[in-house]
């Protein structure tokens, strides 16, 4: 059996929330249940971000799969998308890809909030950021100062070469997908 028969491909484009994360994991698990030969999952990721809970749920689910997970940044991986990207046992990016990091954020829309509510929301943001930092610590093995810098601003962009230097990547590499892999594709596209 050649590697192509044991490899599954997943394309994720769009933001990730709790619902999307659950649907993606369900689809992967169903495919794995139908074909026990799969040993590797390549994820081609172009993600503008999403919710912290949805992203960490997807990260955890990918980490628990009984196969090798390979993530590819094929254009941009932003915000919680970076956390999802870090689920890969092997991690690659195309030379023109971008990684965007920022501290935890929350939008309030048109609603008003009193001081106790704002304090609660601040606690939620601190907790969300602590969860993401914990994953980053486990996966990229950088100094605490550098890690804090990733979350200290409203936006920090990393080129693939910078991401490689910081340990986000295994290497810079364009994914090569076999032409006969059509039956082994899962396409997940979501709108924000």
Q: What is the pLDDT of residues 157-190, one digit of tens each?
A: 999 999 999 999 999 888 777 777 766 777 777 6
Please give the C-alpha separations between residue 92 and each of 8, 25, 37, 70, 164, in angstroms, as whole numbers: 16, 21, 24, 8, 9
Average pLDDT score, the chain: 89
Cα distances (angstroms) measured from residue 100 to each of 30, 139, 163 = 32, 17, 10
User: How large a percentage of the chain has pLDDT more than 90?
Assistant: 66
- Per CATH, the homologous superfamily of domain 3-189 is 2-enoyl-CoA Hydratase; Chain A, domain 1 (3.90.226.10)
Q: Is the C-alpha dihedral spanning 44, 61, 81, 133 positive or negative?
A: negative
pLDDT beyond 80 at 109: no
Can you give the pLDDT at residue 2? 45
0.85 cut: is pTM over it?
yes
Q: What is the mean pLDDT of residues 64-70?
A: 96
Mean per-residue pLDDT, 116-122: 87
Mean pLDDT for 5-28 is 92
pLDDT value, residue 190: 67
pLDDT at 128: 87
- The H-assigned helical ranges of 141-187 are 144-152, 160-166
């Amino acid at each position: 059996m050649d590697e192509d028969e044991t490899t599954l491909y997943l394309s994720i484009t769009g933001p990730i929330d709790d619902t999307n994360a659950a649907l993606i994991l369900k689809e992967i698990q169903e495919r794995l249940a139908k074909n026990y030969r799969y040993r590797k999952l390549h994820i081609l990721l172009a993600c503008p971000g999403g919710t912290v809970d949805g992203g960490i749920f997807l990260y955890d689910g990918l980490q628990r799969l009984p196969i090798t997970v390979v993530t590819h940044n094929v254009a941009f991986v932003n915000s919680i998308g970076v956390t999802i990207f870090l689920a890969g046992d092997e991690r690659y990016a195309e030379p023109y890809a971008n990684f965007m990091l920022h501290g935890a954020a929350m939008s309030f829309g048109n609603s008003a909030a009193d001081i106790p509510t704002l304090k609660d929301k601040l606690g939620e943001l601190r907790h969300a950021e602590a969860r993401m930092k914990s994953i980053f610590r486990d996966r990229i093995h950088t100094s605490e100062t550098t890690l804090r810098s990733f979350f200290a601003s409203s936006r920090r962009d990393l080129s693939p070469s910078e991401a490689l230097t910081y340990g986000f990547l295994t290497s810079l590499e364009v994914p090569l997908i076999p032409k006969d892999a059509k039956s082994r594709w899962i396409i997940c596209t979501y709108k924000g």
